[in-house]
Every structure is written in structure tokens, then in C-alpha cells.
A and B are shown apart, each in its own frame.
Chain A
Amino acid sequence: MKAKPVLYFIAAAAIAFFAASYRFYDSAHTIGLIKASGGEARHPIVLDPGLDRYTVIATASVIPPYRGDIRIAVEGLPGMDWQLHNSVPAIDLSPWRHPELRDNILYDVQPKDRLALWLVMQPTAGAPAVTAAPTAAVTAAASPSTAAGDCCVAASPPAEHTGHSRTESATKATPAGPLLAFYDLRSGNRVLTIPITFRGKGGDHGVVH
């Protein structure tokens, strides 16, 4: 057997294994299930603190019988500007129906719909930097006061940031940490909650996808 092909195979495999194992924490792919009774995130969002841009793709399936309009908000990150983009055809020639996203509200979501949303977050100029937080489970259990002093991880009223009522946000037991939250527009109930975790040094490596 010639040495050159073997060396190339080993080198290619080594680089590819490294690429597979290394994750960039300026982006994440989260997968969730939207349910009328409160959905669940199968992959939470794990990011590095202190970066100047974050990109998250959030995909979700709608579990029957849920249908309705859904308001989407990033909560607990007051120092962060965010934009939401729906993944729809550039020129819509589809005979299939797609939920329409306007002003962070998805209209006409129906059972078995599959949603794909891109969330781009950027720290607001002059806002305190996002710092590392405990894991999602810990942040969820923490009281607002434990984290609010340090920065924005666990903190402030979503009303300031989203332009919607805080009471609506509080209709279900609310994890204290930052989240990407999906609310049924009519009832105000949360139909999907996706925790956003900023990992610390040497901390959580998140979920690879």
C-alpha cells in the first residue's frame, strides 16, 4: 500500500473529526415542539458570552391540536437587540401554506406545521456585556435578584424589550433565565419555551447537532 494515500486519509479524517467536535458558540440550532399545553425544547440554545453577534436557527413542529397565532419574544436579555426572520421562499410559488411572520407574530400556525426561524441578536450599544451564566436548569431555578445585579442574564421585565405586557408573559411558571418564548396570541399561554444559556469558561459544551 502506498504511503501517500494513507497519509492523506489520516490527515483528512483527523481534520474532519476535529471539525465535527469543535463547536462555534456564536450560533446554535434549537429544536422545539409547540404544544397548546406548553411545548418543550429538545435542544436548548447554548452560546458564549461577550460576543458582538449571535445567530440562532429555531426549528419547531406544531403538535396537534394546537392552532393559532404565535407571538415570539426574546426575554431576559434587555441589553440585546434582536431580529427574527422567517425562512420562506424568496419568490413564493408554493401551493402549500406558510405561516406568515409580521412584527414578531406568526399568523395562521396550524397543526403539523414545521417552522424555521432565524434569530439574530446583537448587544445594544452601551449595554452591559452578557456574561457567563449557570446552566439552563440553574438559571431557571434562580430568583431574579440572584443574577440581575451582575448583568442581564436573569433579569428584567420583558415588557421593556418586547413591547408586550408583562402579565401576559407571566401566565405560566416562568424560568428566570433568558429565553426564546412563543406565546399563543389569543390566550397568552406559552406554547414553547427555549432557554438561552451563556456558558462559562470550561463549562457546558452544549448540545451538538
Chain B
Amino acid sequence: MASSTEHHINPKPQGFIQRHRTAILLVGLLLFLPPLAIIFQVSSGDNDFCGTWCPRMFFTWRQGMSSSAFLFGFLRSFIGVLLVVGILLSTFFLGRWWCSHLCPVGGATELGSRLVPQRLKIGYASIPAPPVRYGYLAAYLIAPAIGIGSLCCNYCNFAAVPRFFGAMFTPADMAYFFRSAGLINLALLFLLGFLARGGRAYCNFLCPIGALDSLVNRFGSKRGKRFRVTSHRCTGCGHCAPVCPTWAISMSEEENTKAQIDHFSCMPCGQCEQICPEGAIHYGKAS
């Protein structure tokens, strides 16, 4: 397998959105994260995802909760509910564009990881992401329902990342990290985010939205648009697998080795498409 440091360029030019993905992620950071957090400030007066924008808390069912209390969670986080519905619908038809291009939290860790020297980064590709992700999701949904506790809020990168940026500006955001759970969140942010190869290990393992989104991505893969490998073009060179931030690409173990994309983990970042020297990876519907 070729080294990831070698440079290969797809002979076919990428589209505008793929070529400007870094700029789009940076705009997302400015819009969603402190010190500006313009989207939250203008829409609801909130500072971050905690509040009406929360895309996670409304689907945790706590033991003893009445139906009305559960529905109240939907109302309280109504923008978060709409956000998740929009994400899942767009994912079904178009793929995980929210995760790859828009999510400011995953975007922050990915962009941050690009600033870290390769030799300091931790590779998680040997760990199969889907079983870890769905083990986490199972506990996320079941633990509060049976009354043993909750992962929601305590371990949340949608809370930790905005406060990581905000801590430089406000003591309230700094206070978030002055406690054991805050320090664990900070450690996870570094170990699975900034220091992870590709910067997306947190997204791949511990994001409940990412877990739901990847399920929809997999089940909609036959009907919707996704990144796909054109088998007859793929030479099995293996350049694509190391650049995948979600380690979604594996090489088949058949005689004619070909790249395979796992739609349980793939997001349309386009890095594989960009590096493939044969132009064998493209975005589109199943033929």
C-alpha cells in the first residue's frame, strides 16, 4: 500500500463544494462557534447548541418520564429536532453532507488535527468503528430509559467544542472544564479529535447524531447519491484508504484487489476521490 504522504491527483476535477470544503468548514466555525456563534445568537439568543438548538437531548427517554415530558423535550429543543430531521432526510438522498461539510463540531476537530504534526497523531483505523459507535448509541438511548444514568450532556462534544473556543473569552465557558466531567470531555476532544489521524474519531465513535446519520446513510445507499468505486477502473493501489478520515475504505481480499467503501462510516469529504489516480471514485447514484 502506498504511503499517504505521496501525492496523487484525480485526473477529473472536483466540484465547487468539494474543492472549497475547508473554506466551508471555516465558515461553519465562524457561524456556530464562539466568539461569534452568529447562528445561535441571531436565531434564538442562545450561545451554543445547549438549548433550543440541542440536536441530542430530545431523544433521550428518562425512566419515569411521562409522554408529555418527553414531548416537552421536543418542544424545548425544537430547532435541534428540525436540524436532525433535516440532516437525516438530506443524508438519505444525498449522503452525509452535514457531517463532512457543515458540522462545526466535527469540522473543528478535523481542521484542528490538520495543525498537528503527523508523527504526533493517533491512528484508530484498526478499531472497527460501527460496532463501537452502535455500542455507544445503545447505551446512550437505553441507559436513561432504564434509569441508570445518562451520557447526554455529561459527555457531549456539542457542548465541549463551543466551550473550548469560548473559554478564551468568557469565564462561564472556562468553568465548564473545571470539573472531572469537563476534563474528561477535554481529553476526549484531544485524543479522539485534534490528535486523531483525520480528526474524526470522536465523530466516528461517540457522536449519537453521527451514529443515526450513518445508519440512514447505509440504508439509503441504494437509492441516494454516495461516493462509489467504479470497479473496472480501480487498480487496487490503495492510495484512497489512508486518507479517509473515517477509515471507511478497505481493500477487498479477493484476487483482484479493489477498494470498497463502507457506507456505515463514509461521509462525502471527497478526499478519496481527490487522491485516486485512476478517477475510479465518483459521487453519484448506484448504476
> What residues make up the interface of A, taking CB atoms closer than 8 Å to B?
4-6, 8-17, 19-24, 26-27, 29, 53-55, 83, 85-98, 114, 116-118, 120, 208-209
Contact = CB atoms under 8 A, between A and B. Distances in A.
A21 to B, nearest CB: 4
At the interface, is chain A mostly helix, strand, loop or mixed? Answer: mixed
A89 B143 contact: no
Given A53-B179, A90-B35, 7 more contacts: A4-B128, A16-B143, A20-B139, A21-B143, A88-B172, A94-B41, A118-B171
Contacts of B175: 55, 85, 118, 120
B219 interface: no
B59 to A, nearest CB: 15
A24 B180 CA distance: 6
A8 B151 contact: no
B224 interface: no
A8 B127 contact: yes
B130 interface: yes
A27 B41 contact: no
B131 A90 contact: no
A85 B135 contact: no
B180 A27 contact: yes
A42 to B, nearest CB: 11
Interface string B244-256: 0000000000000
A103 to B, nearest CB: 15
A16 B136 contact: yes
B45 A98 contact: yes
Contacts of A14: 135
Given A8-B127, A29-B153, A20 B148 contact: yes
A15 B136 CA distance: 8
B47 A87 contact: yes
A90 B34 contact: yes
B286 interface: no
B36 A20 contact: no
A26 B179 CA distance: 6
A27 B130 CA distance: 32
Contacts of A114: 51
